[in-house]
Structure 1
Amino acid sequence: MKRMELPLDLDIVGLFGQYDRNLKMIRKMFNVGIELKDGGIIFDGDSDQVDTVMEIFEDMIKMMRKKGVLEEEEVLYIIEHHRNGERGNGKKVADEILSTSLLGSKIKPKTLGQKRYIEAMKTHDIVFSIGPA
């Protein structure tokens, strides 16, 4: 059993998702008990799985700090990267701001793939891509 302290100003509902969707999804995928208690999260289960889930929550919190909100797709993205052995991508993706609109909203890559695409455009004269617009 391990415990992670949460920042006092963190939006718990935003972290756990509407109707605890994010929480339930992570519990089911990793078979780890997750409980909110006394300003922190208690994790219970296999040690390796608990460590992975704690890292996922750390990345989710980093993403929330950068963006303000956490979408379900972003949670799935973070989970998938941890399952593939890639760590800490929540902060890497959210760090780079490409531009700011006239209304002040920030334009930035939402996924690691988009970030790689932007880097390719910066370092090469021609970049080809295949996929949906």
Structure 2
Amino acid sequence: MAGAEGVHSFVIDLPDQAAALALAGEAEVTLHRLEALSSATLVLRGLQLVIQGKAEQLERASALVELLRPLWLEGQSVGAMDLQTAQAALDSGTGTEYRALSNRVLARSLSGKLLRPRTVGQRTYVEAIEQHDLTLALGPAGTGKTLLATVQAVRMLNERQVERLILTRPAVEAGERLGFLPGDLQQKVDPYLRPLYDALHSLLGADRTTALLERGVIEVAPLAYMRGRTLADAFVIVDEAQNTTAAQMRMVLTRLGENSRMVVTGDPSQVDLPAHQVSGLSEAARVLDGVEGVAICTLTSADVVRHPLVQRVVLAYARLDAERRGEGPR
């Protein structure tokens, strides 16, 4: 319907109160964000969303709401990152691919949140894990490398495709050494493994995670513990692999045993090794490119699904790295 000065209105009917609340957000924060992205006016009237604005504003706002339909239709709250990924899909012309992501529900967290790939790059990563015995995932912080691998690992464990989960990472951080940390060895390495524990707790809960750890079904250990072992009937995740040396990477890759799957994740831009050491992850990505049974996935800033600011931070540092390499400003 057209009004004065070319202002139009469009109404979207919502199925129930849960969908209305999920779309509006607390204190209607999601509607305000949609207004900022489209320059349209959005008003919730009972179970009707009324969108007002000029034709192009109306079209953009309604397209964003439709891209987000799988979320609010299920009563899943629409967050800032959902808006960002929907906006990116709309601007890049990949709306069809984005809508298809709604069909790739991987699991449900204990809080009831549906866990699914949120970008096309993440979907490619998930499919690579499903189709290959070894997957290398390279990308910046916030692209879901560890969480998606852990979701797939827990799913395969629950479906009895594997008998145990092994999560490991090198105990290397910038400016820190294990010897200076308090406590016994386990207490020293636990802070390095915290992201893996957090992912398990969100999927299984603290009590079940603890029980599975005590039974040895789940093992969370520093990379050094993998030497000399054969990891059979297991889903192995090697996290923060940019901090492995070339020798460590070769060692852990050759631990893979029968009926096992391995995912190696890392961010090549955040290497904490001494300057003279080559990152085992970067070398493995070069050496294994094209090897049968191996998938190499490169995620980018477009796949960042943390706070929207993280994507801008990643891009800013990417420009800095390019300038230092002599490529000039982008």
Equivalent position of 2:23 in the other structure: 15
CA distance in 1: counterparts of 2:34 and 2:104, whole angstroms = 27
Would you say how many aligned residue pairs link Structure 1 and Structure 2? Answer: 132
- In the alignment, structure 1 segments of 5+ residues that lack a partner are none
Alpha-carbon deviation of 1:23? 0.9
Alpha-carbon deviation of 1:115? 1.1
CA distance in 2: counterparts of 1:45 and 1:23, whole angstroms = 14
Equivalent position of 1:121 in the other structure: 129
1:25-77 C-alpha deviation (Å, 9 max, x unpaired): 11112111112235312212221331221121122231233573333212221
Q: Partner letter of residue 20 of structure 2?
A: I
Equivalent position of 1:50 in the other structure: 58
Q: TM-score, normalised by structure 1?
A: 0.75
CA distance in 2: counterparts of 1:107 and 1:43, whole angstroms = 28
Pair 1:8–1:100, CA change in 2 (3 A): closer
Equivalent position of 2:80 in the other structure: 72
CA distance in 1: counterparts of 2:108 and 2:29, whole angstroms = 31
Q: TM-score, normalised by structure 2?
A: 0.35
Pair 1:16–1:106, CA change in 2 (3 A): closer
Equivalent position of 2:118 in the other structure: 111
1:1-45 C-alpha deviation (Å, 9 max, x unpaired): 222112134432221112221111111121111122353122122
CA distance in 1: counterparts of 2:21 and 2:36, whole angstroms = 19
Equivalent position of 1:61 in the other structure: 69
Equivalent position of 1:6 in the other structure: 14
- Asked whether the 8 Å contact 1:60–1:90 carries over to 2, the reply is no
CA distance in 2: counterparts of 1:50 and 1:88, whole angstroms = 19
RMSD: 2.9
When Rg is computed on C-alpha atoms for both structures, the one with the higher figure is: 2
CA distance in 2: counterparts of 1:67 and 1:115, whole angstroms = 22
Alpha-carbon deviation of 1:81? 1.4
Pair 1:53–1:107, CA change in 2 (3 A): closer
CA distance in 1: counterparts of 2:88 and 2:29, whole angstroms = 16
Q: Partner letter of residue 59 of structure 2?
A: D
Choose which of 21, 32, 42 in structure 2 pairs with 1:24.
32
